[in-house]
Each structure stands twice: as C-alpha cells, then as structure tokens.
Structure 1
Amino acid sequence: MGRSPREEHGTRDPDGLIRRAGVRADPNSDQHFLIDDRVVDRIPEYAEEMDLTHVLEIGGGPGVLTDRLLATADRVTVVERDPKFADFLRREFAEDCRTGRLTVVEGDALSVDLPDFTACVANLPYGISSEITFRLLPLGKPTILMFQREFAERMAGESGTDDYGRLSVTAQHYADVEVVEVVPREAFSPAPEVSSAIVRTTPRDPDYEVDDEAFFLDFVKAVFTQRRKTIRNAIRNTAHISGLDDADAVVDALEEPEPDVLTDDILRKRAGNVTPAQFAAMAGVADEFGRGGG
C-alpha cells in the first residue's frame, strides 16, 4: 500500500530545500531561513489543539515549514511575495498543488485576499510583523507565529511589567497570547542579529466591553505615546492622536470615576500600570465626555 499524502511530508531536510530552491537568503530583505530541524518539527506541535483543516502560512520561502504543515494539515495556503520562491514551492510540492492540498498565492500578505483559513502558522518576515499580526488577529483565528523575541515578549506583556505597552493591550484585546519557545539566532541562516520566539494566540472575547473599537485602540495608542506621563497629562497632551475634542472634560469626568474597574487614583497612574479593562473603561468615559462636545 502507498503512503498517504500526509506521510509524504515532514522529513525534508531544510538545507536540502534551500539548495534546491537555488536562492540565497537576503538579510537586507528580511530573509532568514529556519534551518534547525528540531525547532521546525516543534512548530506544528504547538498547533495540535487547533483546527488544522485549512492552515495559512505567511512567507513560505524554500518550504521548510510548508513541508511540516503538509504532514499535519488537511490543506495549506502559502502566501509568498518572492516570485522565485513561489515558483519553487509549486515545483517542490507539485503533487500537493495538483490535488489541492497546497495553494501558493504569489503576492504581499498585507494586501492579497486571504483565504477562509482555520489557523495561521508562520515564520513571519520580521519587518512586517506588526502589520501582519494586526491583519490576522481581528479575524478571530488561532495562530502560531515566529517573531523577534522582544516583539513577542511585548505582545504577551502583563500590566506593571517592563514589557507591557500598547502592543500588549492591543494584541490581548483579541486573544490570549503566550510565548511558547525562545529560538536562538543560530537556528537561522543567515543568523539574525537577535533571538526569536514562537507565540501562540488563542482568540477570545475580552473581559470588558468596548462600544467603539477603533476609538478604544486609538485611545490606547495615544496614552502610550506618553507612557512616562501620568494618565491625566497623557490624555490632555494626546487629544490630536486619540481624536478627542475636549480632553479637559475627560479628565474632569475621571476625577471621580464611577465605582467600576476605575479607581480614584487612575489619573495619577502611568500607562504601564493600567490594565486593559481600565483602558476600556477610560475610553468609554472619553467617548462620552470628550468627543463631539460630550
């Protein structure tokens, strides 16, 4: 008996794939190939609890991760910007393309139409990590994504820690965020200047309510631009970013907040010590009293 389509995958040698692709990685173009078999093999394991009916991969490159995903997923769609790599993937995995198990979309992941995927597993181009992440997270699908370590730790940062910031609040608005593995520089060729980390995001609704999501995210962005200032001064100084018409009215309303998640010292806090739920409550007050004349 022949082997199943999945059994044909999962063992391709990273160095062999890179040689067959015949394309040198260009670190100036944000290309660093993952060559450590042990790391590559573990990535799909972090997705075992996810629905792998249709997996999206961003930036397939020479197909190192693609091969592992085809061993575990029913279908894989790869979005690859480089025409040479897109062509190689179609040749290397020709049978999977023929049967529909693999679709290669040539184009920029920031602008192409994404398929109706069930999970995204990818070693992201670091230069577009933030933009790609915030295209994916609002879609409400689980992800396993590779980032620069600092970016990953800021995504997962908790209130009151050095890593906590706008990125933490925004990412955790959409999902639980967990750093599942730190990956050393040596796992890549050529080695990047910094270490990396694998992040798992699990979509869920936040434990607070937001009436205007766009305003909430703008408000968080604005306040964190002055994270060393008190909330009182940050709100007053960033009305041009948050879109407030009357920042003083917001501060006045927060002087004696309603008895919910906000405390009477909220205006003396700094952004790094304000929880996502408190940001949501403040944004609600700001929306009510500071926009359109209140």
Structure 2
Amino acid sequence: MEFGQGAEPATSTGDDMIEPTTSARDDLPPTGKLPYRRSTYTEAAALAPEDPARTMDMPELELLEVLGATTVDRRKTRISFQADQTITAVPTATVRIGEHRQRVSLPIGPQTWTPSGACVVKVERTSVGFHAQAWISPERRVANGLQNMLATGYVLEAALLANEATELLRGKYEDPAGAALGALLLHKAGQLVPWESWVENLARDFDWLPDGKVMLVNLRVARGEATPDDLARLLRASEQRVMYAETCSLLIDLLRRWPEERSGPERYAAIERLANDAPYIDRDAICLTLWLPPDAP
C-alpha cells in the first residue's frame, strides 16, 4: 500500500528507535536490562527536602549549560528551571552526572502568568546506573499527572485523563509542552483523530515546538491525505529539537516511509541527521535526552 494512501499511522512506542551498533555506544553507559521501579515526581516529592541519607551514594547533578530557561533552585540531585519569557526553540539543559554528560529537553513553555514554565531535572537511578530525567512541575497538575502515568506504564489510564483534560490543553494554550504530551498519549492510545484541529493549531502557533508538526503529519498520513506541505513540516521538524523522545522516533519513521518519488535529497539528509543522534538517545527518559560523546560540544 502506498504511503499517504490509506496507510496505517506510525505508532512508535520508543522501542523501535534505530538500534545502534556496538561501536557507536562504546562511550556510553552499559545497556543491560535489569528490573527496576520507574521513578515518578509528585507534589509530595517536590515539597520534600532532599534527604542526605538517600542521596549520599548518588552523583551530583552538575549544570553545564541551559538554553531558553533559567535556574530557580539547585540541590545536589535536582535543579528547577523556569522558561524565559520568549523562546524560539525547545529549551535544553546540558548536565554532567559522574563521568557522563546529557542534554535534556526541558518540558516548559514561554513564561506567562501560568506555571507552564516550570520543570525539574533530577538524577534518577535506572537499571544500568544513573541518568537525568526532566519532569513537569506538579503545579501543572494535569500535565504532571500525564507524565507520571506514562512513566509508570499506565498508558490507557493516562489517555483517559488526557481525554478529560483535552479542552484545557486544547483551548487555552496555557501549557503547549503539556498539550504536546497529551497529544502523544492520545496518539499512543489511538484517540487523537477527533482532536486534529487542536493538533493543527499546536503545529501552526508554536513553531518552536516541532512535536505538533510531527503529530499532525502522522494523522494526515493515516488518512491518506499527506501533501508536499506535510513533508516540508517533517523536514522543518528534523532541523529542530523535539520535546519528547517518542516524537523523535515517530519523526524518523515518517521520513523513512515517505515515498521516494515524492521527495528529494532533503529527506535523505534529514534521515541521516536524525540517525546520527539516534544511538545516543536515553531510552529511559520521557523528554528527549541524549548522551553526549566525549568529543561532542
């Protein structure tokens, strides 16, 4: 079946990202899988003081660079951020944990009177060691609840919550980063189609947030109505940094499946650009997080 003519939508879950070669990951932490309990970040956790007994064996979270945001609180294992009043790209924080560096997409939007500009980056223990995880602040109640449900694997329950919160996320534009997360969860649950007009507004009105473009094109591809303008949206998104890791996987899949006869060399360049970063994506992170090789700036 030809892509764009009634093709099935891409339904990446993040597990189908490009599998890196062994040599590509020589400078990364080990990737063996052991059972562990995924972390959450609730209001109680945000209000609790940092317990030295619990963090004694944890590495310090060192902030190397932040773009599009400023720090409002620093502790040994977590840093709170507030978005700048005006941003032109997804905000990021580059951090060091022990010997390794990571660049994390911050799930925040331009600072307004709402709490949509607040997030936290924490050191967390995974099955293979420590990494940085970006969390939507608990003051953003609905979006924080969605992220916690996604982190613990309750996708269907999160999708139900997203349905109840759709009007809030769609109509007021108080929290575009939270809206993009809601769209991702609805996509994963196969419930995004009724809200295409909202996704279109998200893609149009928040160019700095490419996740909206990717979600919109995926809906149009599924309906068999993808156009050259939609390929242009994907190419534009490939030049930007996305907010969420699963959006990156979806973007790669859409570009790979686009018909060759309906694209040019720009598509191949975009795929190559994304493929170069794919081996370094932290698959335990919800927000796009890259392990930086030693020679990376």
TM-score of the superposed pair, with normalisation by structure 1: 0.28
Q: Tell me: higher relative CO, structure 1 or 2? Use CA pairs within 8 A at least 6 residues apart.
A: 2
TM-score of the superposed pair, with normalisation by structure 2: 0.28
